[in-house]
Amino acid sequence: MGQVISVVSGKGGTGKTSFCAGVAVALCALGEKVLLIDADCGIRSLDIVLGMSDSLLFSYGDVIRKRCSLKEAAVKHPIVKNLRVLTSPVSIKDGLGFTFDEIGSLLKRAREHFTYVLIDCPAGFGGEIMNFALQSDMAVVISTPDHTSLRGAQKIGAQMAEGGLENIKIAVNRVRAGMINSGDSVDIDAAMDASNLSLLGVIPEDKDVIACGNLGRVLVLFSHGYARVAYANIARRLRGARVRLLSGVKLRR
């Protein structure tokens, strides 16, 4: 059975979607079969980041309502081998009507066909987030190294823990060494203390993340920046490898 990982955040703008895409492609590069689920009906942007805007016709809502099969709805990426993408319903209203059990049935089917299922959840604390997260094997909370984002990370981590999820980690995104050294940004140890979560990884600030996202290019394939390396490190950790936190990564000043 595959592993389901929900990617969440307490506030918007932390880089959840870029994280999901980067780590998913890195897992595929290691030979894993990966399904990416866009559960963010409000933004619905995974297709843009992956250059698949014209490819995704059916949503996970269509699968739940039995309008199509999971195989039909989960579209192969045109370049990345072993990566499929399942988009969210077009409207927020259409994405809010599913029960805990319906989401659980969808994830059960996904586990049977993929070694990893990554879910790009909407930001915040809504019930639809918990429907996905509390039925996952792991939740990764994405935060930037600032106090408001870390407070949101702590709160959503606590909410999931209260719901019974035990495996919750934090990934700190858009980290710059210069801002940490000058005191303008929270350092990594302080981020862990503030969120009360164990650390999965650190992703440096990297202009290629924005550039590739805007162009619909897969970061791991088109960039030689340090964010690409950080995603690869995180993918290896998810598979159980012992990888130093900043192995091969240099933080910009």
59: which DSSP letter? B
| CATH code where residue 234 lies | 3.40.50.300
pLDDT of residue 179: 46
Contact by Cβ (8 Å): 77, 85: yes
pLDDT at 83 over 60: yes
Helix, strand, coil % in the chain, rounded to nearest 5 = 40, 20, 40
**Does 250 fall in a domain?**
no
Tens of pLDDT along 111-170?
Answer: 999 999 999 999 988 888 899 999 999 999 999 988 888 889 999 999 999 999 999 999
Contact by Cβ (8 Å): 127, 44: no
Beta bridge partners of 6: 119, 139
CA–CA dist 245, 26 (Å, integer): 16
pLDDT at 180 over 50: no
**Does 248 fall in a domain?**
no
**Does 244 fall in a domain?**
no
| Count of structural domains within the chain | 1
Domain that holds residue 20: 3-238
**Does 160 fall in a domain?**
yes
Q: Among 30-34, 193-197, 241-245, whose mean pLDDT is lowest?
A: 193-197
CA–CA dist 12, 245 (Å, integer): 25
Contact by Cβ (8 Å): 249, 204: yes
Tens of pLDDT along 122-136?
Answer: 998 888 889 999 999
**Does 177 fall in a domain?**
yes
**Does 229 fall in a domain?**
yes
Which of the four pLDDT bands, split at 50, 70 and 90, describes residue 73?
A: very high
Q: Among 21-30, 44-53, 122-131, 185-194, whose mean pLDDT is lowest?
A: 185-194
Following CA atoms 61, 63, 67, 72 in sequence, which dihedral angle do they give, to the nearest 10 degrees? 120
Strands 83-86 and 75-76: antiparallel
Tell me which of 238 and 215 has the higher pLDDT. Answer: 238
Q: Which residues contact 225 (CB under 8 A, 6 or more apart)?
A: 206, 207, 208, 209, 219
pLDDT of residue 252: 61
pTM of the model: 0.92
pLDDT at 178 over 80: no
CA–CA dist 58, 222 (Å, integer): 28
**Does 246 fall in a domain?**
no
Residue 95: C-alpha distances to residues 22, 39, 90, 172 (Å): 25, 8, 8, 28
pLDDT of residue 186: 65
Determine the angle formed by the axes of helices 16-29 and 207-215, rounding to 10 degrees. 90
Q: Which amino acid is at 8?
A: V
225: which DSSP letter? S
**Is residue 42 left, alpha or beta, with left meaning phi > 0 and alpha meaning psi from -120 to 50?**
alpha
Q: Among 20-24, 170-174, 180-184, 248-252, whose mean pLDDT is lowest?
A: 180-184
Burial class of 4 by CB neighbour count within 10 A (0 to 12, 13 to 18, 19+): buried
Which of the four pLDDT bands, split at 50, 70 and 90, describes residue 230?
A: very high
Contact by Cβ (8 Å): 130, 159: yes
**Does 189 fall in a domain?**
yes
Read off the pLDDT of each residue in 183-205 and give the average, rounded to a whole number.
78
